[in-house]
């Protein structure tokens, strides 16, 4: 396993901010669980994406790949890897032989590397790198050398989507695969007034005990955060998220999109999802899940989360020297 080293241009100020916000995974759920921690919601997401409550979006992706070529893939790139759970799952499932993983937070990369070592996974190379400035042409970012690139809860942090899609297309082998599982809602969480109204109406029907956080506060009167508030926590948060899906066909072929919701649930349950665990409260959870689904069917909500599979065009990648080494 490689030592972590920076590659390409690094915005040190942003990297330090991400170290503070995301560098310690133990703090991610310290104030409570979130919507995707609930098994019922994971099963619903699985059904909406793969058609099977037992097949996760990641499993769905690799099953799709396996219909076209044999597994394991030779080389896979993981963007914004965080604490490394994704690439460890890929390796341990036998889906890839070699994995390159990047993140801008050096602190969280150290966590990812320690956890890989603890799991006995030795085929992952970790690098500190900025998705906005991928050093295409510098090893290990050799054009045409990756069979698949994956972004899970990461690419919505990219400010220059056109550039990263261009770079991904260059890094992929002809016909290579891109998988995204991302927040695709309004930029910087600037949700519409109608979305906030629906959220508050549904929240208002729930008892206080379900909406009370670990510190004793009761979540009511949801509002749209200001851009300044979002930036103060993470300047890269959802910076161009609304363009993630619309831009895909410009750079990739065979684009398959599976939206799975979250416009109400991810805000409603943030920090209070632990209150919805157990058979006694299961009817409440099912009700809010059904309410969100009905709003989608009625055309009153847009999906905030989606998975996508796309292919690189089956053409020879451009030569490395055409790309600047940021």
Q: What is the pTM for the complete model shown?
A: 0.93
pLDDT at 3: 54
Q: Which domains does the chain have, with CATH numbers?
A: 5-317 (3.40.50.150)
pLDDT at 250: 95
With a CB cutoff of 8 Å and minimum separation 6, the contacts of 106 are: 4, 6, 15, 19, 128
Cα–Cα distance for residue pair 13/32, rounded to 1 Å: 28
pLDDT at 293: 98
Beta-bridged to residue 152, according to DSSP, are 181
pLDDT at 55: 98
Q: What is the 3-state secondary structure (H, E, C) of 189-252?
A: HCCCHHHHHHHHHHHCCCCHHHCECCCCCECCCCCCCCHHHHHHHCCCCCCCHHHCCCCHHHHC
pLDDT at 314: 60
Could you list the pLDDT tens digit for every one of the 326 residues in the chain? 445 778 888 888 888 888 888 888 787 778 899 999 999 999 999 999 999 999 999 999 999 999 999 999 999 999 999 999 999 999 999 999 999 999 999 999 999 999 999 998 989 999 999 999 999 999 999 999 999 999 999 999 999 999 999 999 999 999 999 999 999 999 999 999 999 999 999 999 999 999 999 999 999 999 999 999 999 999 999 999 999 999 999 999 999 999 999 999 999 999 999 999 999 999 999 999 999 999 999 999 999 999 999 999 864 334 333 333 33
b/e for 184-213, b at 16 or more Cβ within 10 A?
Answer: bbbebbebeeebeebbeebbeebeeebbbe
């Amino acid at each position: 396993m490689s030592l972590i080293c920076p590659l390409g241009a690094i915005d040190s100020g942003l990297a330090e901010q991400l170290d503070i916000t995301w560098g310690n995974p133990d703090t991610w759920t310290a104030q409570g669980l979130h919507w995707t921690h609930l098994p019922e919601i994971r099963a619903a997401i699985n059904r909406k994406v793969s058609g099977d409550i037992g097949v996760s979006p990641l499993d769905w992706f690799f099953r799709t790949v396996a219909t076209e070529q044999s597994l394991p893939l030779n080389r896979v790139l993981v963007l914004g890897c965080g604490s490394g759970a994704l690439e460890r799952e890929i390796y341990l499932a036998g889906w890839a032989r070699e994995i390159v993983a990047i993140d801008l937070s050096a602190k969280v990369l150290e966590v990812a590397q320690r956890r890989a070592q603890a799991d006995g996974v030795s085929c992952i190379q970790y690098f500190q790198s900025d998705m906005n400035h991928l050093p295409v042409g510098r090893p290990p970012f050799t054009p045409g050398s990756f069979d698949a690139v994956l972004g899970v809860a990461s690419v919505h942090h990219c400010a220059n989507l056109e550039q990263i899609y261009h770079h991904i297309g260059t890094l992929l082998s002809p016909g290579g695969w891109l998988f995204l599982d991302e927040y695709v809602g309004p930029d910087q969480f600037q949700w519409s007034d109608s979305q906030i109204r629906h959220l508050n109406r549904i929240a208002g029907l729930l008892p206080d005990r379900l909406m009370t956080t670990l510190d004793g506060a009761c979540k009511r009167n949801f509002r749209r955060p200001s851009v300044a508030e979002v930036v103060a926590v993470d300047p890269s948060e959802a910076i161009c998220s609304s363009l993630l899906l619309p831009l895909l066909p410009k750079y990739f072929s065979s684009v398959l999109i599976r939206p799975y919701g979250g416009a109400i649930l991810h805000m409603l349950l943030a920090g209070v999802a632990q209150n919805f665990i157990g058979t006694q409260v299961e009817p409440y959870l099912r009700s809010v899940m059904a309410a969100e689904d009905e709003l989608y069917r009625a055309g009153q909500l847009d999906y905030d989360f989606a998975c996508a599979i796309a292919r690189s065009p089956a053409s020879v990648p451009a030569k490395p020297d055409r790309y600047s080494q940021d």
